[in-house]
């Protein structure tokens, strides 16, 4: 396999180990309204924009015959919890090396995240290497239509880099993200550590043709 035309990177759970913290923030926020989210519900929230997540959570609260808050109130409850948890987020093993190798080999690269620009800045502050990904498509991008799992984020990233999406390698860790990249035509690599496969059963739900990785250290750029 030759080199990709570009590498497109998700952030949460792929470059930074934030997904358990996002889940914890949603668990604490929804418990205030009497709902304890199940593992499959937390899985369904992964990789999606926070506004989309909030609407999904509100529907679950209503389905449980509880009184859902407005989207704005729910996010206002969750936001300080998430900010506190995200202060010292570790990088995923091999993430920094992979990004730096892309840049060193002059492979175009972009960050494709459902997080807002402010959230990305907050989480990536201690990780200066993330600034190497200058081309970005984020959850609050004014040019973005639908978020993941729609193909829009990856199509926009490829367009900004001036490359064919079908010639890009997309790196994801969530079902929504993998579906987004696959629908855009990318070659999709999904970070799925063995213990995560057992915990949430994500593997059987992934679109066909994905390359599964237990670590980003497995990626070969040669």
Q: What is the pLDDT of residues 177-221, one digit of tens each?
A: 999 999 999 999 999 876 555 445 677 788 899 999 999 999 998
What per-residue confidence (pLDDT) applies to 10?
97
Q: Are residues 214 and 115 in the same domain?
A: yes
> pTM of whole model > 0.85?
no
Distance CA 171, CA 34 (A): 36
Q: Is 81 within a domain?
A: yes
Q: What is the CATH number of the domain that holds 158?
A: 3.40.50.1000
Average pLDDT over residues 42-63: 92
Q: Are residues 10 and 117 in the same domain?
A: yes
Mean predicted lDDT score pLDDT of the chain:
92
Q: Is 187 within a domain?
A: yes
Active-site entry in 10, 52, 152, 173: 10
Q: Are residues 32 and 131 in the same domain?
A: no
Tell me if residue 201 falls in helix, strand or coil. Answer: coil
Higher pLDDT residue, 57 or 206? 57
Nearest residue to 193 via CA among 37, 14, 39: 14
Q: Are residues 101 and 77 in the same domain?
A: no
Domain boundary among 71, 87, 103: 87
Distance spanning both ends of the chain, measured CA to CA: 8
Q: Are residues 27 and 12 in the same domain?
A: no
Q: Which domain holds residue 43?
A: 19-87
Q: Are residues 60 and 154 in the same domain?
A: no
Average pLDDT over residues 70-87: 91
Q: What is the pLDDT of residues 87-146, one digit of tens each?
A: 878 999 999 999 999 999 999 999 999 999 999 998 998 899 999 999 999 999 999 999
Active site residue 10: yes
CA 210 from centroid of its chain's CA atoms: 16
What per-residue confidence (pLDDT) applies to 87?
80
């Amino acid at each position: 396999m030759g080199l990709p035309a570009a590498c497109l990177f998700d952030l949460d759970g792929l470059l930074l180990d934030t997904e358990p913290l996002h889940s914890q923030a949603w668990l604490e926020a929804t418990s205030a309204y009497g709902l304890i989210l199940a593992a499959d519900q937390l899985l369904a929230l992964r990789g999606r924009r926070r506004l989309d997540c909030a609407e999904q959570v509100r529907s679950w609260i209503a389905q449980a015959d509880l009184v859902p808050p407005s989207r704005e109130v729910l996010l206002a409850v969750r936001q300080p919890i998430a900010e506190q948890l995200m202060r010292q987020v570790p990088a995923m093993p091999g993430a920094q090396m992979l990004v730096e190798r892309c840049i060193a080999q002059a492979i175009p690269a972009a960050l494709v995240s459902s997080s807002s620009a402010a959230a990305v800045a907050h989480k990536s502050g201690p990780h200066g290497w993330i600034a190497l990904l200058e081309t970005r498509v984020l959850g609050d991008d004014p040019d973005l239509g639908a978020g993941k799992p729609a193909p829009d984020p990856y199509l926009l990233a490829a367009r900004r880099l001036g490359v064919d999406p079908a010639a890009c390698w997309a790196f994801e860790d969530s079902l929504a993200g993998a579906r987004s990249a696959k629908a855009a035509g990318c070659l999709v690599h999904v970070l799925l550590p063995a213990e995560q496969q057992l915990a949430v059963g994500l593997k059987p739900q992934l679109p066909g043709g994905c390359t599964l990785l237990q670590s980003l250290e497995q990626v070969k750029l040669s």
